[in-house]
């Protein structure tokens, strides 16, 4: 009998396949929101500390690296989506052997990816920053920050892949506890390295790397101490070519999409850089505030992904539409409340990052354009979560790249080229969200017809293992 059919859940896990959805989705989402916020605090703490204790040039140097970090890492982080979908499918259908192979393959892949990213990040830091047009007065500090930051990539990847495994079973609480411990450590080390030792951007980068190692170690320890198919054993650490292919088949399109999104963001950052270091600092501050709104909506995307995938594994097809509808309602509410709240509190929040009136003015103008309509981004991502949970990853990638990335690039070279104003530049975001969301809704209607409307038999007959192999 499938796990979704009634096997007792462990205290950290959520039964995603039975009963009312809203309460369980919120139970899944709230710890994940807090976890994502703590992850953001790693970078936000860096930015606040350097802005307050080093100066606006250091603030611009650290802040201008975020889009480049995403560009380099997102392909590999996207693979964790494949881990989450595949593990949730096998968990929901109680295919223990397949789940164990998926878990061990994911751990090895995370470490290999992290080592590769060390060399890629360190080697490409300076030429890519120069390509982005980083001003000379911040280039050296930006390069230093990036090179130290990328030294911690194995820990960064291990945490992301390990958390994806835990989320597959509905466990979003333990990653929260681990990130809380690491987040506190990060803030303490930031202040210690910068104020006591005067290490500047090198100090905040080093603090981030150490804290990431702590969170990754705690996630790995939880998997080592787990029971059943999710338990990590050193003797089983090897890559299953079959499972790696499935992970890549689902996760690579998500990673490519994120990376190309980052290309468009790098292009936006290059346009921001043309306004000078003060505007860069204002954009950096606003971007960090926006990140807290986005991460709350992204937690709903993760919920839609995990709930949909586990219900497909358990053959609870009748719940797919209900999951999507509930998640869309939650993400709309979260986006409106937090987005408009960020705008209303913008002047106060921006002063946390800098007391410079010009920096605050630039940041406020960006907040007004982006955060007021940020709920549209949440709707777009939630649609993608449902599609990927059903196993459809390639077409959502193409739609997102065309509707969002392509449109933003076109916007910069056409609309922004005609009117090179700050507000026009950031208007490209809400326009791209609307277009892409419409594409995803149309595609969902098409692909939903390919899955049954009624629930399947409770017994696991192995067909879900075959279904998981289909990369659409």
Angstrom distance (rounded) from CA 275 to CA 369? 17
Predicted pLDDT of residue 103: 95
pLDDT higher for 137 or 414? 414
Angstrom distance (rounded) from CA 446 to CA 439? 11
Mean pLDDT of the 121-145 span:
83
| Total domain count, the chain | 1
Whether 400 maps to a domain, the answer reads yes
Whether 184 maps to a domain, the answer reads yes
Angstrom distance (rounded) from CA 104 to CA 165? 10
pLDDT tens, position by position, 240-270 = 999 999 999 888 888 887 777 767 777 787 8
Whether 2 maps to a domain, the answer reads no
Q: Is the pLDDT of residue 470 over 50?
A: no
Whether 461 maps to a domain, the answer reads no
Question: Domain limits at 159?
Answer: 20-455
Angstrom distance (rounded) from CA 99 to CA 105? 10
Whether 4 maps to a domain, the answer reads no
Whether 11 maps to a domain, the answer reads no
Whether 465 maps to a domain, the answer reads no
* Contacts for 22 with CB less than 8 Å, ≥ 6 apart: 326, 330
Whether 10 maps to a domain, the answer reads no
Lowest mean pLDDT among 117-121, 134-138, 425-429: 134-138
Percent residues over pLDDT 70 in the chain: 92
pLDDT tens, position by position, 99-125 = 999 999 999 999 999 999 999 888 888
């Amino acid at each position: 009998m499938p796990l979704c059919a009634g096997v007792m859940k462990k205290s950290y896990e959520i039964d995603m396949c039975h009963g009312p959805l809203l309460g369980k989705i919120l139970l899944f989402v709230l710890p994940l929101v807090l976890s994502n916020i703590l992850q953001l605090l790693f970078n936000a703490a860096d930015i606040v500390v350097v802005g307050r204790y080093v100066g606006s040039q250091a603030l611009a140097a650290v802040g201008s690296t975020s889009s480049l970090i995403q560009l380099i890492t997102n392909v590999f982080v996207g693979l964790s989506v494949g881990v989450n979908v595949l593990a949730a499918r096998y968990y929901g259908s109680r295919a223990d052997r397949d789940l164990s192979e998926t878990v061990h393959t994911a751990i090895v892949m995370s470490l290999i990816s992290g080592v590769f990213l060390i060399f890629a990040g360190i080697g490409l830091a300076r030429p890519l920053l120069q390509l982005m047009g980083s001003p000379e007065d911040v280039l050296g500090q930006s390069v230093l920050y990036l090179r130290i930051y990328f030294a911690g990539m194995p820990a960064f990847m291990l945490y992301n892949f390990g958390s994806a495994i835990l989320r597959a079973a509905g466990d979003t609480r333990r990653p929260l506890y681990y990130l809380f411990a690491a987040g506190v450590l990060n803030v303490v080390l930031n202040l210690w390295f910068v104020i006591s030792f005067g290490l500047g951007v090198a100090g905040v980068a080093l603090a981030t790397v150490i804290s990431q190692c702590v969170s990754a170690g705690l996630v790995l320890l939880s998997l080592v101490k787990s029971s059943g198919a999710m338990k990590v054993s050193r003797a089983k650490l090897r890559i299953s070519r079959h499972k790696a292919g499935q992970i890549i088949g689902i996760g690579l399109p998500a990673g490519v999409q994120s990376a190309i999104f980052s290309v468009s963001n790098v292009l936006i950052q290059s346009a921001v850089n043309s306004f000078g270091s003060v505007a860069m600092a204002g954009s950096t501050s606003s971007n960090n505030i926006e990140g807290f709104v986005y991460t709350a909506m992204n937690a709903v995307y993760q919920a839609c992904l995990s709930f949909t995938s586990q219900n497909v594994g358990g053959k609870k097809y009748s719940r797919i539409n209900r999951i999507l509808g509930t998640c869309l309602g939650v993400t709309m509410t979260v986006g409106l409340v937090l987005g408009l709240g960020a705008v209303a509190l913008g002047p106060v929040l921006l002063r946390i990052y800098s007391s410079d009136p010009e920096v605050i003015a630039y940041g406020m103008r960006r907040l007004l354009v982006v955060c007021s309509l940020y709920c549209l981004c949440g709707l777009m991502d939630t649609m993608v979560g449902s599609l990927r949970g059903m196993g459809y990853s390639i077409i959502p990638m193409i739609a997102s790249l065309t509707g969002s990335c392509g449109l933003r690039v076109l916007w910069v070279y056409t609309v922004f080229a005609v009117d090179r104003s700050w507000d026009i530049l950031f208007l490209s975001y809400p326009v791209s969200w609307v277009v892409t969301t419409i594409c995803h809704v149309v595609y969902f209607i098409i692909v939903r017809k390919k899955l049954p409307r009624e629930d399947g038999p409770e017994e696991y007959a192995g067909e879900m293992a075959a279904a998981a192999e289909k990369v659409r």
